[in-house]
Amino acid sequence: MTNTLTVADLTLTFPDGADRITALNRVNLRVRGGEIAAITGPSGSGKSTLLAAVSTLLRPDSGRIELETDSGTADLSTLSRRDAATLRRDAIGIVFQQSNLIPALTALEQLEAMVHLGQTWFVSPARRREVRSRARDLLDAVGLTGHENKRPAQLSGGQRQRVNIARALMNDPSLLVIDEPTSALDQERGAAIIDLIVGIVREHHAATLLVTHDRAHLQHMDSVYRMVDGVLTPENAVVPA
């Protein structure tokens, strides 16, 4: 599978009274399928804005965001709102800093909802069984066998984040966008989540952007970038063993 994210000369500004603030200043990066590019930098430097633009949640002023898959290459920066929403559902997995799980749904139902989202037509029993089987397999892959029927309040912080990761994988995304996945976890649980993400990215061949403040995790990344005042620069290249 060929999944490659290319960001070229990406610029995004926000209004500030009569002026505009530059949140992203001609950002460039390239991430291939199965690789993780880490983005570090101080708070307010534009890291989350970059993730939002790459995820089609914000439209840039200029530049390109190209996602190459087996189906072809699309410029995400030019999609209509409807097409962007469809692409997010079908090809982009987003792991938020907070798990944002639905309190009333079980772990299994959180994943199933991702597939049925936006569907208004009848879903056959066979399709429902297929979706449930995939959801169970993903929960097993993230170490949550036996927790399928628990709701968020019955899970630990680390377990909720594992559900969050599994949910992002339900539609087998070509692109994974991950925002501070360990910020609410202690060091041991955070390291376990990073190990899990690395293994999943390698297996699923998703091009992955991961924002983190914890430099202890950078040794596991394929490349590391630093963002300051909207400017992204390569910090170093990490060559996998």
Residue-level pLDDT at 241: 40
Measured between alpha carbons, how far is 49 from 14 in angstroms, rounded to an integer? Answer: 11
One-letter amino acid identity for 148? E
Q: Which residues of the chain have pLDDT under 50?
A: 237-241
Residue-level pLDDT at 237: 47
CATH number of the CATH domain containing 130: 3.40.50.300
What is the per-residue pLDDT across 170-209, written as a single tens digit (0 to 9) for each?
A: 888 999 999 998 887 888 888 888 998 999 899 889 999 9
- Count how many domains the chain has: 1
Measured between alpha carbons, how far is 229 from 41 in angstroms, rounded to an integer? Answer: 9
Q: Please give the residue range of the domain that contains residue 101.
A: 4-237
Residue-level pLDDT at 239: 43
What are the φ and ψ backbone dihedral angles of 118, each rounded to 5 degrees? 85, -5
Residue-level pLDDT at 240: 44
Encode burial over 62-78: b for 16+ CB neighbours within 10 A, e otherwise: ebebebbbeeeebebbe
Instruction: Please tell me whether the overall predicted TM-score, pTM, comes out greater than 0.75 for this model.
Output: yes
Residue-level pLDDT at 117: 67
Residue-level pLDDT at 122: 64
Residue-level pLDDT at 181: 87
Residue-level pLDDT at 151: 97
